[in-house]
């Protein structure tokens, strides 16, 4: 089959990104303009600020992606773009830009689910990876266990019923004075602490569900800190970070390996921002080694929000003949 080039755009949160991806697995360029330093002073992402910053940089980011890939719009076969889930104002910037490009060039538009993009990052990292497999998607806004049945065909087997894992990380990091973004900072501090020092709760559901709940462990950490403050006791922040992280990792590990058993699958592909977490990677690799299950994860640049993963997902949809109408709208709560 003739090679296909996808120009892809991602703007669902606080990264403006454009990429050129060849045949779903080869990245010719992946430009990311991060807003993290701007949002850091607010302690989290401010939607209105994010949208304005996307508008300021998107044109330059797309031009740079084409330039770095050494291609023009004439060489592109289709335009892939994230249309949900995410912040509606942020999504609209990338989507409207992509629709404008598709309309002016006559190229097909392919709308991509952001979570599908995270899963597809593994196709870029692991060139021989093919469905079926289990994917654990863990990020600031999402925590899912997904049975990837085929390219573009998914069954969600477990998801969070309240906070996403990354959201819990951010809130706990703020409480112990680490600042934003919480994930990498807790991961670093936890290395100096004892993960068995404090027994924080692990939520389990009586219905045998593979769903998650992280609001309980977050509240338990806040209560622990408040009690210590009231009693004027000193808190070992490294122990708190390590014990909290262990509680999160424990539940993620248990549920995802349970999924492999029930579905009789021997591959787990981790995806999303928290896939960079060293404790999660170590725990899954260790368990995978014992159980003969292969653990795959993308390199850190592909764990963060980026357009290359969107280009990969768009390619597999495009070659199946799946394109989107030009009146495609942003869907902030889009389901997988």
Is 168 a residue whose pLDDT tops 80?
Answer: yes
Task: Give pLDDT tens digits for 206-230.
Answer: 788 899 999 999 999 999 999 999 9
- 85 token code pair: 């889930």
pTM here is: 0.90
Would you say 86 and 118 are in contact if contact means Cβ atoms under 8 Å apart? no
Q: What is the set of domains in the chain, with CATH numbers?
A: 5-121+303-318 (3.30.420.40), 131-299 (3.30.420.40)
- 291 token code pair: 């159980």
Output the pLDDT for position 273. 83
Would you say 9 and 81 are in contact if contact means Cβ atoms under 8 Å apart? yes
If pLDDT is split at 50, 70 and 90, which confidence band does 42 have? Answer: low
Strand 15-22 with 26-34, pairing? antiparallel
Round to whole Å and give the CA distance between 307 and 95.
13
| Residue 168: strand pairing partners | none
Find, among 221, 214, 212, the residue nearest to 241 by Cα: 221
- 81 token code pair: 């773009």
Output the pLDDT for position 136. 96
Task: Give pLDDT tens digits for 96-139.
Answer: 999 999 999 999 999 999 999 999 999 999 999 999 999 999 98
Find the angle CA(132)-CA(126)-CA(139) to the nearest 5 degrees.
Answer: 80
């Amino acid at each position: 089959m003739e090679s296909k080039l996808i120009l892809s755009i991602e703007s669902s949160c606080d990264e403006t990104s454009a990429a050129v991806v060849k045949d779903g697995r080869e990245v010719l360029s992946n430009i990311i303009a991060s807003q993290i330093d701007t949002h850091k002073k607010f302690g989290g992402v401010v939607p209105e600020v994010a949208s304005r910053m996307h508008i300021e940089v998107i044109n330059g980011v797309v031009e740079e992606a084409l330039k770095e890939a050494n291609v023009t719009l004439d060489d592109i076969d289709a335009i892939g773009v994230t249309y949900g889930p995410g912040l509606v104002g942020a999504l609209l910037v990338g989507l409207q830009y992509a629709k404008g490009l598709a309309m002016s060039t006559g190229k097909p538009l392919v709308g991509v689910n952001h979570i599908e993009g995270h899963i597809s990052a593994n196709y870029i990292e692991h060139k021989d990876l093919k469905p079926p497999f289990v994917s654990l998607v863990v990020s600031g806004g999402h925590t899912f266990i997904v049975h990837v049945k085929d390219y573009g065909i998914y069954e969600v087997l477990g998801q969070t019923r309240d906070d996403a894992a990354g959201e819990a990380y951010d809130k706990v990091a703020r409480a112990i004075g680490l600042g934003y973004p919480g994930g990498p900072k807790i991961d670093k501090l936890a290395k100096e602490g004892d993960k068995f020092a404090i027994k924080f709760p692990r939520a389990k559901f009586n219905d045998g569900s593979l769903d998650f709940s992280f609001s309980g462990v977050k509240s338990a950490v806040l209560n622990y800190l408040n009690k210590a403050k009231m009693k004027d006791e000193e808190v070992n922040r490294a122990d708190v970070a390590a014990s909290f992280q262990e509680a999160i990792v424990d539940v993620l590990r248990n549920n995802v390996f349970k999924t492999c058993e029930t579905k009789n699958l021997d591959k787990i592909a981790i995806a999303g921002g928290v896939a960079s977490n060293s404790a999660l990677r170590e725990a899954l690799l260790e368990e995978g080694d014992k159980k003969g299950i292969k653990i795959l994860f993308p390199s850190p640049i592909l764990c963060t929000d980026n357009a290359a993963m969107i280009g990969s997902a768009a390619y597999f949809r495009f070659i199946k003949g799946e394109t989107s109408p030009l009146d495609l709208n942003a869907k902030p709560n889009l389901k997988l």
